[in-house]
Amino acid sequence: MALLNPRLFSIERAIRHASTYQEYREACLEHDRQSGADEWKDKDPCRDYDYRLIRKRVQRLQIARGRADVMALSSIIHEGLHGNLGNIANPVLGEQCLIGTKTLIETFIAEVVGALEQIYHADEQEMDFYEKLSFFEETAHAFGRSCLMLSGGAGLGIFHCGVVKSLNEKNLLPGVISGASAGSIIAAMLGTRTHDELLDALDTEYIFERFKDWRNFSGLGKKSLFDSSSLENALITLFDLTTFEEAFKKTGRHVTITVSPADLHQHSRLLNAKTSPNAIIAQAVRASCAVPVIFSPVQLKAKTTKGDVVPYIPNRRFADGSLMADLPFERLSRLYGVNHSIVSQTNPLAVPFLSSFKSSASSWTDLTMRHLGQLAKSNSIFAIDMVERLIDNRGAKLAIHKARSILDQQYVGDINILPNSQLRSLSQVLANPTLESVSALIESGEKSTWPHIDVIERNTKISETLRYYLRLLKQREAVELGHKRHVEDIQTHAL
């Protein structure tokens, strides 16, 4: 279409060369106006979602809100509110325009947010405090929440800086975050730094100065190819001896670092303020970055109540988190109730084969290719299992087991933020960064995030509103019960 429309061609060029998100957004909105996408947004009917259900729900919410009937509002919301009601989160709906979606869907989200505000502010003669508290607790739990998962990728992990920088600037960072391997470094930064501190910590020169010499060849015949002292010094500088519990108390973010065992008969571990509150973050990150052969595995450390550093899980060593738990969505779901994932993916084994959104197969060819891919994966895992049974050597068996784990993982989420020029970037996986390469990767992370900002904001609006009002109610409850310290914690932390 752009080739036949010089105006659209000019707008698309402006989109590609936008230097800020505001420029990008304005160009996208103009493109939607010129391309006819705005007309598509304003038409409710569409086979890709249940517009009749959403239209009816909007009408009921508007009537109840007009009558200030908070009991009716709570009943309507309880009936079936979830993030993909009527398939409104269908990624296909985002393919028709560059910004936004169906106006009906945006109206529905706005009505739900307005209803939640009305319920929170309702006269307590009609809906008392504990009824409100119960409503928001139950609804927030049932609705779920989003998580941000940062993959492995060695030198490409600097791309994550641009992703979280863009999300942080828009106040869209989820409260649940995981990191594996290189992603664990950025996840730990999110867990130990406030919104304002991140603005400085994600600066190009700041990142370059700390990781410019992470790859130091140690020579053949050693336990690993690279000397880890430079990386360890950078991690201590960044995180000192902060524990997961201490980090959570500061930022309120539920940050998880994944590590893999360096021996057989062990499962990957998720280290966070719930599972390992006293574990030291710097050492957890060092373990998660211990790519086999590249860096030696390490023992985890913890801090006692007296401040002494002691071994954590003695007699065990851990290595690269991405080997077995690059994106630990299922376990995050059990721990934190997440049901929607945002993935920043730089794993060189996965990136070349991924697309930015989960989507349903839309043709016979897509269905066939998906089925063949699943068969190939299943057959490969079966072959690896057979080979593993035939081998007695412990080292070989461990290597085969790790290879199986890599193959058997899921490398995509609901929204996938991927670096551009993926294959050309592979040369940076094991290279020491330059100031120019750090700048390019961070800029790539920012620009790759921009097309998803609107979707992320829309998909998280209701859950964030629920948790905002729940937090206010919890603060009030703590005040009334006289729990001063608990009040301070709630004021600081997201629930």
Q: Which residue has the tokens 């007699």?
A: 315
Contact 266/210 with Cβ under 8 angstroms? Answer: no
CA–CA gap between residue 429 and residue 159 (Å, rounded): 11
Tokens encoding 414: 């609901």
CB atoms within 10 A of CB 397: 16
State the catalytic residue, choosing from 32, 227, 320, 454.
320
Length of the chain: 495
Token code pair at residue 2: 């752009």
> CA–CA separation, 444 vs 208, rounded Å?
16
Q: Does the annotation mark 181 as catalytic?
A: yes
Which one, of 185, 141, 145, lies nearest residue 344 by Cα?
185
Which residues 6+ apart lie within 8 Å of 4 measured at CB? none
Cα separation of 94 and 111, whole Å? 21
Q: Is 320 a catalytic residue?
A: yes
Q: How far apart are CA 420 and CA 444, in angstroms?
A: 7
- The values of phi and psi at residue 302, to 5°, are -135, 170
Catalytic residue among 166, 181, 296, 322: 181
Q: Among residues 265, 260, 269, which one has the least CA distance to residue 318?
A: 260
Q: Which of 428, 441, 422 is nearest to 207 (CA)?
A: 441
Q: 357 in helix, strand or coil? A: strand
**Closest listed residue to residue 287, CA positions, set 260, 308, 315, 305:** 260
Active site residues: 181, 320
